[in-house]
Amino acid sequence: MTEVQIGAASVARIEESYEPNFEAATFFADWRPERVAPHMAWLAPSHYDPASGMLKLSVHSWLIRIGGKTILIDTCVGNHKPRPKRPLWHMMETRYLERLAAAGVRPEEIALVMCTYLHMDHVGWNTRLDNGRWVPTFPNARYVFSRADYEHYLALEREPQNRPAVHGAFRDSVVPVVEAGLADMVSGPRAIDEHLTIEPRPGHTPGTVAIRLDSRGAGAVFCGDILHHGIQVYHPTWNSFACADATLARRSRRAVLEHCAGTGALLMPAHFGDLFVCHIEAAGEGFVPSF
């Protein structure tokens, strides 16, 4: 388990899966052998599997404990979720809740769940299957959702040609939370408390946000899929196939990298491989990660 201290906050990585799961050249249109060859010493084996040509991406949550409050950022894919178009994520059976317990936390102790956006691999454990119904996994938590993302996927869900939205994740992992009265929709920059701030960073989706943690002069940015992979630190113009707005995605990525490089804030991605977190240093017109 990766654990870091950020000021008064302790932050732990709760793993759901970590495996080669997307073909690199399909995931990144800019992926070329000659462009990634200079990075191969750090790419393999923790971030890229040369034998299969697959990116090795982690799917995990970040567990924050600060000021007597327990917070979960992003909730992975979830168990028993039907995702037939994503075979690796279809009807998963993982030990995610056991790993959360190993970190010393029961679902009932989570006070706040924050999703950086509403794709299937960031909302799945929002709910669990209980006697054939999807119910909130964290019954005492408030769930913070971006209003822009919620309204975007709600509109898609209402159009027959788009159903089910985000491979069914909107229906089984977001709607039950809203119907239970546990969701807080946020728009624009928002201070959640004295330590956590939401900053809109659209591009990957209309409502993608970065979550900033500040405590005792130390900081971190939970970036979700603003950056999927360490190679994007070196090449911040590289978008994944899943970025909805290419221009905004690049702008948001650079803004996060500039903030981390300028302030020393730790970058806390949702999918980077081992060592899973990094500092960012400016290098000419680009950046370099320090793992």
Alpha helices in the chain (DSSP H): 24-27, 33-36, 40-43, 96-102, 120-123, 147-157, 169, 175-179, 231-234, 246-263
| pLDDT for res 160 | 80
| pLDDT for res 140 | 98
Residue 247, domain extent? 3-290
Taking a C-beta distance cutoff of 8 angstroms, is the pair 172, 124 a contact?
A: no
For the segment 170-205, what is each residue's pLDDT rounded down to a tens digit? 999 999 999 999 999 999 999 999 999 999 999 999
Q: How many domains does the chain fold into?
A: 1
Is the pLDDT at 163 greater than 80, yes or no? no
Round to whole Å and give the CA distance between 145 and 166: 15
Q: Residue 113 half-sphere exposure, CB side, CA atoms within 13 Å?
A: 32
Provide the whole-model pTM. 0.97
Round to whole Å and give the CA distance between 279 and 289: 6
Q: CATH code at 85?
A: 3.60.15.10
| pLDDT for res 46 | 97
Round to whole Å and give the CA distance between 19 and 109: 29
**Mean of the per-residue pLDDT values for the chain?**
97
For the segment 222-277, what is each residue's pLDDT rounded down to a tens digit? 999 999 999 999 999 999 999 999 999 999 999 999 999 999 999 999 999 999 99
For the segment 83-107, what is each residue's pLDDT rounded down to a tens digit? 999 999 999 999 999 999 999 999 9
Is the pLDDT at 162 greater than 80, yes or no? no
| pLDDT for res 256 | 98
pLDDT band at 285 (very low <50, low <70, confident <90, very high): confident
